[in-house]
Amino acid sequence: MKKTVSSLKAMKQKEKIVMITAYDALFANLFRDADILLVGDSLNMSFGGAKDTLSASLEQMIYHTKAVCNGAPDTFVVCDMPFGTYTDEQIALQNCIKVYQETNAGAVKIEGGVEKAHIIKALTTNSIAVMGHIGLMPQFVRSEGGYKIKGKDEANIAKLILDAKAIEEAGAFAIVIEGVKPEAAKAITQAVQIPTIGIGAGSDTDGQVLVWSDMFGLNTEFKPKFVRTYLDGATLFQNGLKEYMKNVKDGSFPDENEVY
Ligand code: KIV
């Protein structure tokens, strides 16, 4: 059965939430059994080849979210709001309404803590479901001078808890916690009533998310410590291509059964 905001919230402390990224209809369909499909702006890096997520546009995210919703109509889909599309309440409302009107996404995701709570509130009070995102926030890579692991000391853990509580108070239904020490993720998870979904944050969150091309071994140049590789996708595809090339070159493809 398709998950909803309330059924996802009810999973906290009962069943771990499985979220995986998806960017197109083909793979969304293959991943349709996950609890949540995230159309992450990570697509700008993993599939667009860019060095960060900042140049992802709203139009791109809408295009990919539509495709994912088409491929997995019975799975809950979250559209990542790209950099610069939620700088104030009015802009965020305008852009998130566009996402809701043009796609079947069940929610949007927004990076930021206390400072973004008023924006989350403006969205949730206008019937837009919001997933928060705290800790290492890829859209802050340039302002922070790199991807920095968070929650390394008591003061920072306290700040992250304040962020999570502000997001919860603003009406978000879940929070992604990225790139934080496991003890910080645990403390945040215990401090809020809504589910937390971790990436590089240890096992004490209410769910996990990974970027699909990382976990299925397609990205041979990027292998962070937190990623478990479930498949040697690169080798599978490269072997497939090798075989196809061989068959075309030697004339064995197509054969008499592969023609009209
Ligand atoms: O863009 C993305 O894929 C994300 C996940 C890594 C959480 O934000």
Cα(221)–Cα(44) distance, integer angstroms: 16
Burial class (CB in 10 A: 0-12, 13-18, 19+), 159: middle
Write out the residue range of the structural domain in which residue 241 sits: 232-260
Q: Do residues 95 and 203 share a domain?
A: yes
CA of 155 to the centre of ligand 1 (A): 25
**Quick check: 56 and 234 in contact, CB under 8 A?**
no
DSSP letter at 227 equals P
CB of 68 within 6 A of ligand 1: the answer is: no
Q: Do residues 134 and 202 share a domain?
A: yes
Q: Do residues 164 and 133 share a domain?
A: yes
pLDDT at 160: 98
Give residue 51's pLDDT band: very low, low, confident or very high (50, 70, 90): very high
Total domains present in the chain: 2
**Candidates 199, 205, 214, 227: which one to mutate for ligand 1, based on the most atoms within 8 Å of Cβ?**
199
pLDDT digits (tens, 9 = 90+) for 161-202: 999 999 999 999 999 999 999 999 999 999 999 999 999 999
Percent share of the chain, pLDDT over 90: 98
Q: Do residues 83 and 186 share a domain?
A: yes
Cα(32)–Cα(255) distance, integer angstroms: 35
Helices 89-102 and 58-71, packing angle to 10 deg: 30
Q: Does 67 have pLDDT greater than 90?
A: yes
Catalytic residues: 178
pLDDT digits (tens, 9 = 90+) for 76-129: 999 999 999 999 999 999 999 999 999 999 999 999 999 999 999 999 999 999
**How many Cα atoms occupy the beta-carbon half-sphere of 50 within 13 Å?**
13
Bridge partner list, 176: 133, 197
pLDDT digits (tens, 9 = 90+) for 117-166: 999 999 999 999 999 999 999 999 999 999 999 999 999 999 999 999 99
**Candidates 44, 110, 111, 176: which one to mutate for ligand 1, based on the most atoms within 8 Å of Cβ?**
176
CB of 19 within 6 A of ligand 1: the answer is: no
Q: Which residues contact 17 (CB under 8 A, 6 or more apart)?
A: 8, 11, 35, 36, 174, 195, 197, 206, 207, 208
Q: Do residues 149 and 241 share a domain?
A: no
Q: Do residues 182 and 153 share a domain?
A: yes
CA of 249 to the centre of ligand 1 (A): 41
Q: Do residues 245 and 144 share a domain?
A: no
Tell me the residue ranges of DSSP E strands in 126-178: 130-135, 174-178
Cα(174)–Cα(52) distance, integer angstroms: 24
Query: Which of 94, 101, 133 has the alpha carbon at shortest distance from 117?
Result: 133
Q: Do residues 52 and 66 share a domain?
A: yes
Q: Do residues 166 and 241 share a domain?
A: no
Q: Do residues 126 and 28 share a domain?
A: yes
Q: Do residues 102 and 206 share a domain?
A: yes
Which is more confident, 223 or 217?
217
pLDDT at 220: 86
Q: Do residues 76 and 118 share a domain?
A: yes
Mean pLDDT of the chain: 97
What's the CATH code of the domain at 119?
3.20.20.60
Cα(111)–Cα(53) distance, integer angstroms: 12
pLDDT at 222: 82
* Secondary element (H or E) of residue 241: helix 233-249
**Quick check: 139 and 111 in contact, CB under 8 A?**
yes
Q: Does 254 have pLDDT greater than 90?
A: yes
